[in-house]
Amino acid sequence: MVCTKNTENNNLPRRQVLNIPAVVYGKTSAQLKEQYGVNELVLMNCNENPLGSSPLAIKAIQEEALNINRYPESGSSDLRQKLANHYGIEREMVLCSNGGDNIITTLMQTFLDEGDELVVGHPSFFVYGHTSGIMGAKLIKVPLKDYTYDLAAILQAVTPKTKMVIICNPNNPTSTILRQKEVDEFIAVLPQDCLVVFDEAYREFVEDKNYPDSLKYVKEDKNVLIIRTFSKLYGLAGLRIGYCLAPQKVMTYMARVVETFPVNRLAQVAAMAALDDKNFVTKVKAANALGKAYLIDELAKLGMKTAPAYANFIFTDTGMDSIKLVKDLEKRGILIRPAVSWGFPTCVRISIGTQAENEKLVKAIQEIKDEI
């Protein structure tokens, strides 16, 4: 949808909305296949789960499909209780919503006003800027250091107007992490009335033993909120189910703002089934670790350097014009993400695929390099 700037009706929307860029939707999968004359696309551009979803979740969906004439449980009670048990906290410290995106929308609606400042790393997840912009908050973007959130610089960016800091860990798009000690130190010195949000959409892929236990801060009743999702490890991106964890003194406000029926029925049953599917989780983690090591190695042989990668994607400096590389791959039906708009013109973000997909990508990049 290309929404052209309309100058006649500018007094209709809120002033802040005029600052939000017009929406341009990309091509659909069907359109891309037709354009490039390929039967299948290799989707390594959205950090999805290449192994599909938990079979238990799919079965739960297919059964529950018979009940979709009925509204979902408004409070996602059973799922929230299951998550609460999983984490050893109270159900009132868990909130589920329509994907991590909607958790973020709710977060901004609950806490950010015009004049408030939100501090984030840059580049990081683009949704922070969109949703905080709608509320009229000022987004303070602190450049990454070695592809990683720079906590010292973030601390320096904090002012009396700073209402919230978001730490995307692992960071999207760079796949790097912060560790326990540095986060502990950050939390200790940050003003206590500043809300710290940990976006941990990719946490389950991290194998580093010093990855922070952010739940500790929740249990300590700090002004902290953790965002997690079923989109990645559990392979339920298409269903839209994310959640957050926070002390009651934070969650009480989120719960007032969230909609009545944000989580569809199928997402509720699928998420519960997926939580129980240990086999699927084990398989996905193992395949991701192998695929990630394979890709980093093979790209290194092609002279491409990858940032330390802890999630289900890698951030690689190709040494080439990334827009051209991405287009050349697209013609072969392989989709990855260029990092130009994030300020890294030679870098790309690549989601780990199946082994066959990873091999196909490496072969294609080799061919493209050879053509130059």
Number of residues that bind a copy of itself (CB under 8 A): 90
Answer for which of 34, 35, 36, 46 binds a copy of itself (CB under 8 A) is: 46
Q: Is residue 223 at the binding interface for a copy of itself, with CB under 8 A as the rule?
A: yes
Question: 348 vs 124, 311, 343, CA distance in Å?
Answer: 14, 15, 11
CB contact at 8 A, 99 and 229: yes
Q: Is residue 8 at the binding interface for a copy of itself, with CB under 8 A as the rule?
A: yes
Q: Is residue 33 at the binding interface for a copy of itself, with CB under 8 A as the rule?
A: no
- For residue 141, the cross-strand partners are 120
Only one of the segments 151-159, 261-269, 315-323, 364-372 lies at the binding site for a copy of itself (rule: CB under 8 A); that segment is: 261-269
Nearer to a copy of itself, 140 or 257 (CB): 257
Answer for which of 121, 123, 262, 338 binds a copy of itself (CB under 8 A) is: 262
State the minimum distance, in angstroms, from the CB of residue 167 to a copy of itself: 18
Q: Is residue 215 at the binding interface for a copy of itself, with CB under 8 A as the rule?
A: no
State the minimum distance, in angstroms, from the CB of residue 259 to a copy of itself: 5
CB contact at 8 A, 76 and 260: no
CB contact at 8 A, 369 and 342: no
Q: Is residue 105 at the binding interface for a copy of itself, with CB under 8 A as the rule?
A: yes
Q: Is residue 251 at the binding interface for a copy of itself, with CB under 8 A as the rule?
A: yes
Site string for a copy of itself, 314-333 (x = CB under 8 A): --------------------
**Among 80, 50, 46, CA closest to 228:** 80
* Residue 3, helix vs strand vs coil: coil
Q: Is residue 75 at the binding interface for a copy of itself, with CB under 8 A as the rule?
A: yes
Question: 116 vs 119, 136, 161, 194, 311, CA distance in Å?
Answer: 10, 8, 5, 11, 31
Only one of the segments 18-26, 165-173, 309-317, 352-360 lies at the binding site for a copy of itself (rule: CB under 8 A); that segment is: 18-26
Q: Which residues contact 42 (CB under 8 A, 6 or more apart)?
A: 333, 334, 335, 353, 357, 360, 361
